Amino acid sequence: MITIAVVLIVLVALYLYNVRTFDYWEKRGVKHDKPVLIFGNNADNYLMRKSVSEKAVEMYWKYPNERIVGFFRSTRPELVIRDPEIVKHLLVSDFYHFYPRGLIANRKYMEPIMKNLFFADGDLWRLLRQRMTPAFTSGKLKAMFPLIVERAERLQERALAAAAGSRTIDARDLMARYTTDFIGACGFGIDAGSLNEEESAFRKLGASIFKIDNMRFMSSILKQFMPRLFCHLKPMGQIEKGIKELVGAILRERKYQPSSRHDFIDLLIESKNKGLMTGESIEHMKPDGTPEVASLEMNEDLMAAQVFIFFAAGFETSSSATSFTLHQLAYNPNVQKKVQEEIDRVLGQHNNKLSYDAVKEMTYLDWTFKEGMRMFPSLGFLMRECSRKYTIPDTDVTIDEGVRIVVPLQALHMDPQYFENPEEFQPERFSPEEFNSVQKSIYLPFGVGPRACIGERLGLMQSLAGLAAVLSKFTVSPAPESVRRPKVEPKSGVVQTIKGGLPLMFKERK
């Protein structure tokens, strides 16, 4: 009898613990779906039926007349933001109430490799951002362009081999190899060989970062549920080991001193050699209200974490965006023809050579790429965590520290209220005459405000150059196995990916 009583007490305690937050949005008068035990409103995601982005889209359309919608990720309350004005407040005007991304369930138990510019929060993020911003000036980007040209030529060669054999080529894999090679060169001073070698080690490393097997998926979910209990789980353990070995080998080869390559590793070495990073704390205040001084040392583990995110973010987001743009062009031949005419004209004015200045002149190509990112942003949502009690503008809803807000970019980008006929691929939407202020406030493929992507210009530059390289030499069309509206991989996390790749036919232009 005692045993049964103990079991009942434990079950009741677990039940009460699980439902303790379930009245959070009801108390505040915020519309929401009724949460269920363990899952909250997130069962489809936890059971690998829908991606995080797809769940955000679902909640967006379920309550079309609301400005904000409540959501429970397991027991944790979140707020889906549907209103462009509120988005602007949270991400820009009131940034210091929402500076954490909140992607790590408990910062105390972060894996070392996650202590990078994207996942870090608070002082760790601020000091890293402050030290690394100089790496992405226009001058440094322009100096990198010859590396892009070299990889773009290899991209053309690989596509030519497929075109000559009338073989289907996965545009997703092709562009991933191109971005992997570029990042290998400008990031590490390494010839990754992804476009030449079928089984390139660097390509395998890139693929492994975003290959979400069931074990990694479940580890991540368990760490969300109970970070203290499952803090020993390291879903990124093998990748962390590979990155640390790679960075350690390069540092030893360079004798821990900058080389003449001026790549990302050199930047990190220079950062370490500058000594302690210091600045005003964003987290801790003195009794008089002024910020304390925060400091951080750039050690080898921290360097490896920055290399990881430089590689992962550049590899996945650019290859996803460029391949989806090619997919859309395959199904919109009239738009493709206009893009090619512009590329031909601009290259003709630059001795038929791809260059930094030539790419900057390809306005219609730029609009086309932006339209691809509108329809399928690599980051289908933005997330922030409330750092102190906050009242949502023009409402009487006050949320507490720790509550996360979700901006469903995929849904906002495809809402006919903001973009007419959103399912149609229309690059002209991004002409200065058409692109209005409301659209600017919700079209955020690189984020916005102080936490906007630090590598936005680098990502745009390598993506536009890759597209120009392909479209100057080839016309793309649907392959027999192409799917007009491809499905999102339901296990996608922060970056959404297409299930099954994007097969296309490449035909050489004469």
pLDDT digits (tens, 9 = 90+) for 54-64: 999 999 999 99
d(CA 479, CA 484): 10
Give the model's pLDDT for residue 241.
80
E strands, 28-136, are: 68-73, 76-81
Strand partners, 36: 40
Q: How far is residue 462 from each of residues 71, 170, 385, measured CA to CA in Å?
A: 37, 19, 31
**Predicted confidence band at 260 (pLDDT cuts at 50, 70, 90)?**
confident
pLDDT at 180 over 80: yes
pLDDT above 70 (res 434): yes
| pLDDT over 70 at 37, yes or no | yes
d(CA 279, CA 385): 22
- Pairing state between β 68-73 and 404-407: unpaired
Question: pLDDT above 90 covers what percent of the chain?
Answer: 50
Give dist(CA 117, CA 303) in Å, integer: 11
Q: State residue 286's pLDDT score.
A: 87
Mean pLDDT of 62-78: 95
Q: Can you give the pTM of this predicted structure?
A: 0.90
| HEC-encoded secondary structure of 207-259 | HHHHCCCHHHHHHHHHHHHCCCCCCCCCCCHHHHHHHHHHHHHHHHHCCCCCC
Both tokens of 319, joined, read 């290859």
CA distances (Å), origin 252, targets 132, 142, 247, 300, 301? 22, 28, 9, 11, 14
The pair of three-digit structure tokens given for residue 394, joined into one six-digit string: 């023009």
Mean pLDDT of 279-297: 89
Residues 148/142, Cβ–Cβ less than 8 Å: no
Using CA atoms of 57, 487, 454, 425 in order, give the dihedral in degrees to the nearest 10. Answer: -90
Distance CA 455, CA 102 (A): 20
- End-to-end, the C-alpha distance of the chain in Å comes to 85
CA distance 163 to 146: 26
Compute the mean pLDDT over every residue in the chain, rounded to the nearest whole number.
87
Kindly report, residue by residue over 450-498, the tens digit of the pLDDT.
999 888 888 899 999 999 999 999 999 999 999 999 999 888 888 888 9
Query: How far, in Å, are 55, 68, 395 from residue 60 at the CA level?
Result: 9, 9, 18
CATH tag, 115-379+414-508: 1.10.630.10
More confident residue, 68 or 195: 68
Assess whether pLDDT exceeds 80 at residue 272: yes
Q: Across-strand partners of 508?
A: 474
- Convert 59-96 to b/e letters by CB count within 10 Å (16 or more is b): bbeebeebbbbbbbbbbbbbbbbbbbebbbbbbeebbe
The pLDDT tens digits for 92-125 are 999 999 999 988 766 676 778 888 888 899 999 9
Question: Domain coordinates of the chain in residue numbers?
Answer: 115-379+414-508
The residue written with tokens 């720790």 in the block is 402
> Which residues are documented as binding site?
453
d(CA 280, CA 302): 20
User: Between residues 44 and 106, which one has the greater pLDDT?
Assistant: 44
Residue 219 above 80 pLDDT? no
Q: Are 314 and 183 in contact (CB under 8 A)?
A: yes
DSSP state of 63: S
Among 64, 81, 38, 3, CA closest to 394: 81
Q: pLDDT-based confidence at 1, cuts 50/70/90?
A: low
pLDDT higher than 60, residue 232: no
Q: Which has the minimum average pLDDT: 143-152, 155-164, 209-218?
A: 209-218
Stretch 417-432: mean pLDDT:
96
Q: Residue 224 class from Cβ within 10 Å (0-12 exposed, 13-18 middle, 19+ buried)?
A: middle
Least confident residue range of 5-14, 352-361, 476-485:
5-14
Q: How confident is the model at residue 208 (pLDDT cuts 50, 70, 90)?
A: low
Write out the binding residues for heme: 453
